[in-house]
Amino acid sequence: MTHRFGILRRFRFNLPQRIAAGLLAVFLLQGLWVASRQPPTNRDFRYALCGRQTWEALSPASYLAPCGNIHDGILAYRLAGLPFALNLLVERGLDLFRKPAAVMAQTGGCVGTPQFRLQVTQLLLLLRLPFLLAGCVLGGCLWWVTRRLYGNWGGYTALTLYCFSPAVLKACLLPNTNVLAALGIYGGVYTCIGVAHAMQGPRRKWRPRIVLLTVIFAIAAAAHIAALPTAALLGLVLMLWVAEGHRRQIVPVVLLASAGALVLLFACYGFSPEAFGHIFRSAAGFMWVSLDPAKRFFSAPGNAGITIAAVVAAVLYLSIRKSRYFGNTTPLLCAAILFPLIMTGTPGSPWIWAQPFLLTFVGGVFADAYESRGRKVALIAAGVVVALQAALCLASLSAIS
């Protein structure tokens, strides 16, 4: 049997995977329900127009007025504009069979054009769908990491809290860079750890993981230019922690993956030096620290269940020595670093980047509690917290729909 079919054979879709898929389906349905009831916003129109322009032309002029230079992250614009670019391509193909007076496709357009606004309204769900799907992929990554580290129940806890997180759902309802950057950073950090573990084995296992790391770093860079250095620095520190005996090779690996990611980012800008170079001439990557994002998140009524779970997990982590190991410490440190970050150059919400790390930490500590003598009490308490968070999430989504 070839290696490719061997991987397919090892894949299983048993009860744990079905439960996880069901939770992610609930997450997707919540997002679709709210997105279908929200009218188009100025953000939708801007991302649709600018995103379509990035597909229509690859010259530097395609990134100029009325959109301005895209310097924070082009991936969100590419995804938002893809349905409109495809629609325009279809219309141009159909125009070949129409009479001149019945030609439908337009090469230009602006936010205020009635025809364009009507098109955005008709394709609104397709405009928002890529960001909902990115949220589902991030949830799948969270499930894969937590189940692999902590077992089924730890994975269930983390994924359920994620699927009923109003902050994450709201980030997936409108075109933006946050959920894409969160996916790139979370995936990048844990892929770095995977590469460090692979370095303890034969060299033939290094290459595919380094290639995967390069792709994930590229997603982070294309999502938000500040996400790549954030993921690379966090991953570098954790790799130095894990890869005993191979620390001299860590920096070259991270630099190689980062350089490859920049090449792929250059491709996302259509290999246009002017458009690509603008991201390095802007202040898009500048960040500072503040406790306000953490205060707003943990004090929001819709996040009460997650707040309670985080406080309980922190208490258990500090009081139970068994919980203080690498698997729990890593997401705690990442969340503690990301929560205080604020963007000073362009809009961005690094506290959303911290969400999967926080929930990974909660799932890990709770999984330790499930294996203690008070297993039944821990399961019941966790069930109450998860039910509370689900109820608050549904109530908050009903309010904004």
pLDDT digits (tens, 9 = 90+) for 259-293: 999 999 988 888 877 777 777 777 767 888 999 99
When pLDDT is cut at 50, 70 and 90, the band that residue 373 belongs to is confident
For residue 53, what pLDDT is reported? Answer: 82
- Nearest Cα neighbor of 175 from 342, 341, 345, 52 is 52
157/108 Cα distance (integer angstroms): 49
- Token match 């966090």: residue? 234
Is the predicted pLDDT of residue 383 greater than 90, yes or no? yes
Q: What is the pLDDT of residues 28-46, one digit of tens each?
A: 999 999 988 888 888 888 8
% of the chain beyond a pLDDT of 90: 54
Residue 222: inside a domain: yes
To 5 degrees, how large is the angle CA 236–CA 158–CA 191? 25
Residue 44 burial (CB count, 10 A): 22
359/354 Cα distance (integer angstroms): 9
**pTM as predicted:** 0.90
- Token match 């894969």: residue? 144
Q: Give CA separation, 147 vs 139, 293, 323, in Å.
A: 12, 29, 16
Contact present, 137 and 183 (Cβ < 8 Å) = yes
Whole domain around residue 320: which residue ranges? 13-37+127-400
Is the predicted pLDDT of residue 107 greater than 50, yes or no? no
Average pLDDT estimate for 104-122: 65
Residue 275: inside a domain: yes
Residue 257: inside a domain: yes
29/25 Cα distance (integer angstroms): 6
When pLDDT is cut at 50, 70 and 90, the band that residue 1 belongs to is very low
Residue 215: inside a domain: yes
For residue 70, what pLDDT is reported? Answer: 73
131 token code pair:
């960001």
52/87 Cα distance (integer angstroms): 10
For residue 115, what pLDDT is reported? Answer: 74
User: Strand, coil or helix: what is 288?
Assistant: strand
287/225 Cα distance (integer angstroms): 11
When pLDDT is cut at 50, 70 and 90, the band that residue 91 belongs to is confident
132/172 Cα distance (integer angstroms): 5
139/304 Cα distance (integer angstroms): 20
Is the predicted pLDDT of residue 399 greater than 70, yes or no? no
**Window from 117-126, 377-386, 392-401 with minimum mean pLDDT:** 392-401
Q: Which residue has the higher pLDDT, 174 or 159?
A: 159
Contact present, 24 and 136 (Cβ < 8 Å) = yes
Is the predicted pLDDT of residue 341 greater than 70, yes or no? yes
For residue 122, what pLDDT is reported? Answer: 84
Q: What is the pLDDT of residues 294-321, one digit of tens each?
A: 999 999 999 999 999 999 999 999 998 8
Q: Which residue has the higher pLDDT, 344 or 290?
A: 290
34 token code pair:
């709210």
Contact present, 324 and 368 (Cβ < 8 Å) = no
For residue 18, what pLDDT is reported? Answer: 94
- Token match 């208490």: residue? 315
Task: Please tell me the total number of residues recorded for the chain in this structure.
Answer: 401
Is the predicted pLDDT of residue 176 greater than 60, yes or no? yes
Q: Which residue has the higher pLDDT, 103 or 353?
A: 353
For residue 113, what pLDDT is reported? Answer: 67
When pLDDT is cut at 50, 70 and 90, the band that residue 345 belongs to is confident
- Nearest Cα neighbor of 389 from 297, 307, 293 is 307
DSSP class of residue 186 equals H
DSSP class of residue 201 equals S
Residue 45: inside a domain: no
**Window from 50-64, 175-189, 359-373 with minimum mean pLDDT:** 50-64
318/101 Cα distance (integer angstroms): 74
- Nearest Cα neighbor of 48 from 118, 97, 104, 1 is 118
Residue 395: inside a domain: yes
Q: Which residue has the higher pLDDT, 52 or 159?
A: 159
Q: What share of the chain is helix, strand, coil (3-state, %, to 5)?
A: 75, 0, 25
Is the predicted pLDDT of residue 4 greater than 80, yes or no? no
Q: Which residue has the higher pLDDT, 248 or 367?
A: 367
pLDDT mean across residues, the chain:
86
Domain count, the chain: 1
378/370 Cα distance (integer angstroms): 6
125/173 Cα distance (integer angstroms): 10
User: Strand, coil or helix: what is 343?
Assistant: strand
Residue 198 burial (CB count, 10 A): 19
Give CA 347 to chain center in angstroms. Answer: 16
Residue 80: inside a domain: no
Residue 253: inside a domain: yes
User: Strand, coil or helix: what is 272?
Assistant: coil
Q: Which residue has the higher pLDDT, 227 or 283?
A: 227
